């Protein structure tokens, strides 16, 4: 149990300082690949989720997709994809993109559905069209929920990209898998530590973004509290104590 020794071996290794197996290169690979999968997924899942949430149609589909996706083993999908489509990053991109979609789909649908119906009616009443109501009223009000969905998806993609090193994907998972294969423990724990730091860093980044994205008036703070004691009804899209539970999802 010599953590300091292992981490010293890992970080002092010249191969981890420059070249294709360097930490910076592996980190960039991991980030680029995760961002690609997440971006592709968001392109499909977010608009679809917004439409489903706004129209209220197809909600059962969202629930079903989220349930099935949670039950599928990532390692199985990744190995199957590589056997069917051949070794290469494109083959791995497919399951990763598919796994990132359900949390974003659920968050988009749930977030838009959770906006106050009175606020929506007001938006329609002052002459906004349906697309305008969705984009200018519902999306800003649902921004924190949306971002929470993107956060869940990113964490999922980062973890799955680590597992996908087993089928030959680059990134930080390489250290973990190669270290395990060669019984090189310093490399394995060094890689695992970097993966953990990356996941925690992304979590913190999203926590900050979510705080910034909350529309004014829904943010907890002295201003809101003062308004509440002033007697006027607070303009909250969702009641934090009783969120609209379309799908009980993991935190």
Residues that bind other proteins (CB under 8 A): 1, 67-68, 70-77, 79-80, 82-86, 155, 158-159, 162-163, 166-167, 173, 176-177, 179-180, 185, 188-189, 191-193, 195-196, 199-200, 202-203, 245, 248-251
CA distance 130 to 123: 9
Inter-residue contact 203 to 118 (CB < 8 Å)? no
Nearer to other proteins, 74 or 236 (CB): 74
| DSSP conformational letter for 126 | T
Residue 203 beta carbon to other proteins: minimum distance, rounded to whole angstroms: 5
Nearer to other proteins, 139 or 157 (CB): 157
CA distance 103 to 150: 7
Residue 175 beta carbon to other proteins: minimum distance, rounded to whole angstroms: 10
Residue 160 beta carbon to other proteins: minimum distance, rounded to whole angstroms: 8
Nearer to other proteins, 80 or 135 (CB): 80
DSSP-derived secondary structure for 81-127: HHHHH-SSHHHHHHHHHHHHHHHHHHHHHHHHHTS-HHHHHHHHHTT
Nearer to other proteins, 166 or 236 (CB): 166
CA nearest 8: which of 178, 140, 190, 225?
190
Residue 102 beta carbon to other proteins: minimum distance, rounded to whole angstroms: 12
CA distance 5 to 43: 44
CA distance 197 to 199: 5
Residues recorded for the chain: 251
Nearer to other proteins, 77 or 139 (CB): 77
Residue 154 beta carbon to other proteins: minimum distance, rounded to whole angstroms: 9
CA nearest 30: which of 188, 194, 190, 189?
194
Nearer to other proteins, 116 or 249 (CB): 249
Residue 105 beta carbon to other proteins: minimum distance, rounded to whole angstroms: 16
């Amino acid at each position: 149990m010599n953590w300091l020794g292992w981490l010293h071996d890992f970080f002092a290794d010249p191969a981890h300082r420059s070249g294709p197996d360097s930490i910076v290169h592996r980190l960039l690979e991991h980030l680029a690949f995760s961002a690609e999968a997440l971006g592709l997924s968001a392109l499909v899942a977010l608009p679809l989720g917004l439409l489903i949430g706004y129209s209220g149609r197809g909600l059962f589909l969202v629930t079903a997709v989220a349930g099935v996706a949670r039950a599928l083993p990532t390692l199985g999908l990744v190995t199957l994809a590589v056997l069917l489509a051949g070794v290469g990053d494109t083959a791995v991109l497919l399951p990763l993109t598919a796994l990132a979609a359900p949390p974003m789909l659920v968050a988009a649908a749930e977030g838009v559905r959770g906006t106050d119906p009175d606020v929506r009616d007001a938006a329609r009443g002052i002459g906004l069209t349906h697309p305008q109501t969705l984009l200018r009223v519902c999306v800003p009000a649902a921004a924190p929920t949306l971002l929470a969905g993107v956060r869940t998806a990113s964490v999922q993609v980062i973890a799955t990209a680590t597992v996908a090193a087993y089928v030959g994907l680059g990134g930080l998972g390489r250290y973990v898998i190669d270290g395990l294969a060669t019984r090189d423990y310093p490399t394995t724990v060094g890689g695992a530590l970097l993966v953990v730091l990356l996941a925690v860093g992304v979590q913190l980044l999203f926590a900050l973004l979510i705080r910034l994205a909350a529309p004014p008036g829904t943010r907890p703070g002295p201003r809101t509290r003062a308004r509440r004691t002033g007697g006027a009804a607070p303009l909250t899209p969702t009641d934090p104590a009783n969120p609209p539970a379309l799908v009980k999802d993991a935190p």
